[in-house]
């Protein structure tokens, strides 16, 4: 199987999606992929970040994580996105990044990328599925190939059973309500595997 280049691109204010992305990074490397872990550019004013101790601490802890650019999408064979939900939709930070991909899209450079998505919210019905499906709409426009986890592994069930992509509920104390580590790793490995099939089939 061809060596797969995997970009994991996330937005996280207090750390939940960063942790999901770190698990995906581990799994991608275990699957033999070359992996980049990247965050999208923060758009919130510094005053807002400073007013929330958890947000401020996480921003400081991840200050050295590289910021994603469209060039990273061009580089990648496979891409995993991880975001919190904002009213059932994608956070503005991630949306702004996606809106910079028009040049690649116009050149056909996002077609046949293998993509997958994960999400979080503050309660079990807080918009995780809607947020993942919103990301999928962008992927359709790219002509990308979505590697949804479905129910291809038993890890989906303790993780809450979201077939569109792993999702988690962040409790008030900042911990995760569901046991999602194995589901995240399965989703990442599945994404790399599918990307390997596509890359081999395209002769890249």
In the prediction, which pLDDT does 69 show? 98
pTM above 0.85, yes or no: yes
Read out DSSP for 51-91? TSHHHHHHHHHTTTSPBP-HHHHHH-SEEEEEEE-BTTB--
C-beta separation of 42 from 68 below 8 A: no
Domain that holds residue 35: 5-202
Q: What is the CATH number of the domain that holds 86?
A: 3.40.50.360
The residue among 8, 2, 78, 77 whose CA lies nearest residue 37 is 8
C-beta separation of 113 from 72 below 8 A: no
pLDDT tens digits along 131-174: 999 999 999 999 999 999 999 999 999 999 999 999 999 998 88
The answer to whether residue 1 scores a pLDDT higher than 70 is no
Q: For the chain, how many structural domains are there in total?
A: 1
């Amino acid at each position: 199987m061809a060596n797969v280049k995997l970009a994991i691109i996330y937005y996280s204010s207090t750390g939940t999606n960063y942790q999901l992305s770190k698990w995906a990074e581990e799994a991608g490397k275990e699957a033999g992929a070359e992996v980049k872990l990247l965050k999208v550019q923060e758009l919130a004013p510094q005053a807002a970040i400073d007013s929330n101790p958890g947000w401020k601490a996480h921003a400081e802890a991840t200050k050295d994580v590289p910021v994603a650019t469209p060039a990273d999408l061009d580089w990648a064979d496979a891409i995993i996105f991880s975001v919190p939900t904002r009213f059932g939709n994608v956070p503005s930070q991630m949306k702004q990044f996606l809106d910079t991909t028009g040049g690649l899209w116009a050149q056909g450079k996002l077609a046949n990328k293998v993509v997958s998505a994960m999400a979080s919210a503050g309660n079990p019905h807080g918009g995780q599925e809607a947020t993942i499906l919103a990301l999928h709409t962008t992927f359709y426009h790219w002509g990308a190939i979505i590697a949804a986890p479905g129910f291809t592994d038993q890890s989906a069930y303790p993780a809450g059973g979201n077939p569109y992509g792993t999702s988690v509920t962040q409790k008030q104390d900042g911990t995760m309500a569901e046991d999602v580590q194995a589901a995240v790793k399965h989703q990442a490995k599945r994404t790399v595997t599918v990307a390997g099939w596509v890359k081999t089939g395209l002769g890249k």
